[in-house]
């Protein structure tokens, strides 16, 4: 039983990192109906920005994470502005292919020697690892940090989306862009903000991931990106609470699978979830059927 | 009334959807303090006209002048900023937002929260039913309540020109009367109104001036009373 709870804690840690990524997928999809396949790579860039902030500039951890978030915000907004916006009214498949192109570009450009370089790098930890024993279960300060920071960011996001004028406008634009324009809402601006917020969360996720699983490389975004995408679909793509729930489930399922079945099977398991969701309930756990607007 | 002080003036406007030319050069104006009705059969181009004024569609040619400034090619959100509000056909609530949030979005361009609160209170006096449904998702409202919400949402912006696209559509006769009374009230408080209607009876009875649209052209104009008594209008729009 202790082993089970131990795995549950590990699963939660992974789940919260997935949540930070999955939210970007779901928010962007909600507002422009685009699967932003470059999102996992923004997560990777976030991890590197955090890395440089910690090693090169010796920033304290909270500043390092803010630095990564700011950098990713800028990156996300730039990608939207130059890669996706010109295709806003093009067939969806064009934007999707462009997203894959942006993803490959970020991965291979980052691999260049004068950018991040192709090698694995060991991630610095802002403090030494310390493990607390609670009963028979161990929990590390790293785990507390990852979960704590994620929860704070998720609460801030929830506040922005539910309570602020910009958050309301994000929801209004995702529902009906033309009517939103009639209210004087600058739809392009709101879409930029959405990309910015989603990317900031992914950037924070990258730093936390680096600290929790301390190794980074330019292709590190692919797997967590895909898993977070599955999580977003599982929760119901377009739904913010759905993405959080889906991600936590994914993190726990994956960890349990490694622990009880086989660690080589865990990716197969994760994607089996995608297939099952698509077959059984394509709208996901909390997703709504798209209402056709006349 | 000598119609000399236009709030908005449309000159030779043509609009097409691909090969379909929906507006073939229409001209009309709404003057200060007026209710102007735009009537016409299905597909005449009424909604197209309003959508073009609001900047949701780009005209092929022609000019739109609001308060003496050309606004012809401004993006939609900037036109709203100038003081034009548009209650779209089919109400188009943000169904995923609450009634309060819908109204708050109507006041998106107003930054002073006191003003927003005062406007909202005034609106709740005209639409008490919306106050009861304050925190309910708009998607759960009835058709009549949705129409009230759509009008209330537009009023939150404190527009100087209010455009309404078929506010009576799908409402019971009692509710139609109620909505038209509210429109009159809004007008009496100083807002100029451009009213698109299928219900020509009602529209002609409350408007100061009206234009008749047929397949993208203005074919007739006059005061509400003139058109009401016109035999051709009687036959085509008022059921003989
Ligand atoms: N999105 C569109 N694409 C192509 N044609 C359109 C589109 N919207 C409208 N039209 C055409 O433009 C013409 C005018 O349409 P519009 O909606 O302005 O009519 P309307 O007067 O508002 O009619 P109704 O009273 O039925 O609402 C119609 O012939 C219509 O088929
Ligand atoms: Mg219409």
Q: Which two tokens stand for residue A223?
A: 């797997």
**What count of residues does chain A have?**
294
Distance between A241 CA and the closest CA of chain B, angstroms: 14
DSSP states of chain A = -HHHHHHHHHHHHHHHHHHHHHHHHHHHHHHH----TTHHHHHHHHHHHHHHHHHTS---HHHHHHHHHHHHHHHHHHHIIIIIGGGTTS-HHHHHHHHHHHHHHHHHHHHSTTTT-SS-EEPPPSS---EEEETTEEEEHHHHHHHHHHHHHHHHHHHHHHHSHHHHHHHHHHH-HHHHHHTT--HHHHHHHHHHHHHHHHHHHHHHHHHHS-EE-TTTTHHHHHHHHHHHHHH-TT-HHHHHHHHHHHHHHHHHHHHHT-GGGHHHHHHHHHHHHHHH-TT-SS--PPPPP-
| DSSP at B216 | T
ipTM for the complex? 0.94
Write the residue in A168, A182, A185 that is nearest to B101 by C-beta: A168
Write the residue in A165, A176, A184 that is nearest to B104 by C-beta: A165
A184 close to B (CB below 8 A):
yes
What residue owns the CA closest to ligand 1's atom 29?
Answer: B43
Q: Which two tokens stand for residue A178?
A: 């033309």
What residue owns the CA closest to ligand 1's atom 1?
Answer: B17
Q: Using CA atoms, how far apart are residues A193 and B136, in angstroms rounded to an integer?
A: 27
Instruction: Return the residue of B nearest to A183 by Cα.
Output: B106
Per-residue pLDDT, A49? 98
Distance between B234 CA and the closest CA of chain A, angstroms: 32
Q: Using CA atoms, how far apart are residues B175 and B173, in angstroms rounded to an integer?
A: 5
Q: Using CA atoms, how far apart are residues A154 and A161, in angstroms rounded to an integer?
A: 10
Q: Are A69 and A228 spatial neighbours (Cβ–Cβ below 8 Å)?
A: no
- Short-list B142, B140, B197, CA closest to B169: B197
- Short-list B133, B77, B75, CA closest to B101: B133
B11 close to A (CB below 8 A):
no
Q: Are B31 and B6 spatial neighbours (Cβ–Cβ below 8 Å)?
A: yes
Q: Are B210 and B179 spatial neighbours (Cβ–Cβ below 8 Å)?
A: no
Asked if A184 lies within 8 A of B86 by C-beta distance, the reply is no
Instruction: Return the residue of A nearest to B81 by Cα.
Output: A184
Q: Using CA atoms, how far apart are residues A149 and A108, in angstroms rounded to an integer?
A: 30
Return the domain boundaries, chain A.
15-220
Whose tokens are 């704070």? That residue is A152
Per-residue pLDDT, A294? 36
Phi first, then psi, for residue B119 (nearest 5°) are: -60, -40
Tens of pLDDT, residues A93-127: 999 999 999 999 999 999 999 999 999 999 998 88
The pTM of the full predicted model, rounded to 2 decimals, is: 0.94
Q: Using CA atoms, how far apart are residues B128 and B134, in angstroms rounded to an integer?
A: 10
Ligand nearest the Cα of residue B51 is 1
Q: Using CA atoms, how far apart are residues A29 and A42, in angstroms rounded to an integer?
A: 16
Q: Using CA atoms, how far apart are residues A45 and A134, in angstroms rounded to an integer?
A: 35
Taking residues A214-229, report their average pLDDT. 96
In terms of DSSP bridges, do strands B161-165 and B61-66 run parallel, antiparallel, or are they unpaired? unpaired
Which helix (H) or strand (E) segment is B78 a member of?
A: helix B76-82
**Looking at the predicted structure, is the pLDDT value of residue A292 above 50?**
no
Tens of pLDDT, residues B18-73: 999 999 999 999 999 999 999 999 999 999 999 999 999 999 999 999 999 999 99
Instruction: Return the residue of A nearest to B156 by Cα.
Output: A183
Mutate to test the interface with B, among A27, A183, A185 (most CBs of B within 10 A): A183
Domains of chain B in sequence order: 6-237 (3.40.50.300)
The number of the ligand 1 atom at minimal distance from the alpha carbon of B51 is 18
Asked if A178 lies within 8 A of B97 by C-beta distance, the reply is no
**Looking at the predicted structure, is the pLDDT value of residue A293 above 50?**
no
Tens of pLDDT, residues A70-100: 999 999 999 999 999 999 999 989 999 999 9
Q: Using CA atoms, how far apart are residues B134 and B98, in angstroms rounded to an integer?
A: 7
Quote the mean pLDDT of chain B.
Answer: 95
Taking residues A131-136, report their average pLDDT. 88
Q: Ligand 2: distance of its center to the CA of B215 in Å?
A: 12
Tens of pLDDT, residues B103-149: 999 999 999 999 999 999 999 998 999 999 999 999 999 999 999 99
pLDDT above 70 coverage of chain A, percent: 98
Set of chain B residues whose Cβ sits within 8 Å of the Cβ of A286: none
Taking residues A27-38, report their average pLDDT. 94
A178 close to B (CB below 8 A):
yes
Set of chain B residues whose Cβ sits within 8 Å of the Cβ of A174: 96
* Cβ neighbours of residue A73 closer than 8 Å, sequence gap 6 or more: A196, A197, A199, A200, A203
Distance between B50 CA and the closest CA of chain A, angstroms: 11
Candidate from B15, B16, B20, B86 with most ligand 1 atoms within 8 A of CB, to mutate: B20
- Short-list B34, B84, B106, B42, CA closest to A183: B106
Asked if B105 lies within 8 A of A186 by C-beta distance, the reply is no
A89 close to B (CB below 8 A):
no
CA dihedral angle for residue A161, residue A167, residue A168, residue A174, rounded to 10 degrees: -90
**Looking at the predicted structure, is the pLDDT value of residue A291 above 70?**
no
**Looking at the predicted structure, is the pLDDT value of residue A227 above 70?**
yes
Lowest-pLDDT choice from A74-83, A166-175, B78-87, B166-175: B166-175
């Amino acid at each position: 039983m202790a082993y089970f709870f131990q795995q549950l804690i590990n699963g939660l840690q992974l789940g919260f990192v997935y949540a930070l990524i999955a939210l970007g997928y779901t928010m962007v999809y909600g507002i422009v109906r685009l699967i932003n396949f470059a999102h996992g790579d923004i997560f990777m860039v976030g991890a590197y920005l955090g890395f440089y902030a910690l090693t090169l500039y010796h920033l304290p951890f909270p500043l390092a994470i803010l630095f990564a978030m700011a950098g990713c915000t800028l990156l996300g907004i730039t990608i939207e502005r130059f890669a996706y916006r010109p295709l806003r009214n093009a067939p969806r498949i064009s934007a999707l292919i462009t997203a894959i192109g942006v993803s490959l570009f970020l991965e291979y450009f980052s691999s260049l020697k004068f950018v991040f370089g192709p090698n694995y790098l060991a991630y610095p930890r802002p403090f030494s690892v310390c493990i607390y024993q609670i009963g028979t279960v161990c929990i590390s300060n790293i785990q507390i940090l990852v979960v704590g920071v994620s929860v704070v960011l998720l609460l801030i996001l929830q506040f922005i989306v539910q309570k602020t004028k910009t958050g309301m406008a994000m929801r209004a634009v995702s529902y009906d862009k033309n009517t939103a324009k009639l209210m004087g809402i600058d739809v392009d601006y709101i879409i930029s903000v959405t990309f910015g917020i989603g990317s900031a969360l992914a950037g924070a996720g990258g730093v936390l991931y680096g600290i929790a699983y301390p190794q980074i490389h330019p292709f590190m975004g692919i797997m967590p990106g895909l898993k977070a995408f599955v999580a977003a679909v599982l929760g119901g793509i377009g739904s913010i609470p759905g993405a959080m729930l889906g991600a936590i489930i994914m993190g726990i399922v994956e960890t349990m699978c490694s622990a009880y079945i086989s660690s080589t099977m865990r990716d197969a398991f994760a994607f089996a979830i995608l297939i099952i969701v698509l077959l059984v309930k394509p709208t996901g756990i909390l997703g709504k059927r798209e209402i056709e607007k006349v | 009334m000598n119609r000399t002080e236009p709030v908005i003036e449309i000159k030779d406007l043509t609009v097409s959807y691909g090969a379909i030319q929906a507006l073939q050069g229409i001209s009309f104006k709404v003057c200060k303090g007026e209710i102007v009705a735009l009537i016409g059969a299905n597909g005449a181009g009424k909604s197209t006209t309003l959508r073009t004024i609001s900047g949701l569609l780009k005209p092929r040619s022609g000019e739109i002048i609001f308060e003496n400034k050309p606004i012809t090619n401004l993006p939609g959100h900037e036109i709203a900023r100038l003081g034009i509000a548009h209650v779209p056909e089919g109400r188009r609530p943000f169904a995923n937002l609450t009634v309060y949030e819908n109204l708050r979005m109507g006041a998106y361009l107003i930054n002073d929260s006191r003003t927003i609160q005062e406007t909202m209170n005034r609106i709740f006096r005209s639409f008490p039913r919306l106050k009861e449904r304050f925190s309910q998702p708009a998607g759960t409202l009835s058709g009549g309540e949705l129409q009230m919400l759509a009008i209330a949402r537009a009023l939150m912006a404190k527009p100087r020109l209010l455009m309404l696209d078929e506010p009576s559509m799908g409402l019971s006769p009692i509710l139609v009367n109620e909505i038209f009374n509210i429109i009159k009230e809004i007008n009496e408080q100083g807002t100029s109104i451009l009213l698109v209607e299928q219900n020509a009876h009602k529209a002609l009875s409350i408007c100061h001036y009206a234009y008749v649209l047929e397949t993208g052209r203005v074919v007739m104009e006059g005061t509400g009373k003139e058109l009401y008594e016109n035999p051709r209008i009687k036959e085509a729009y008022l059921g003989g």
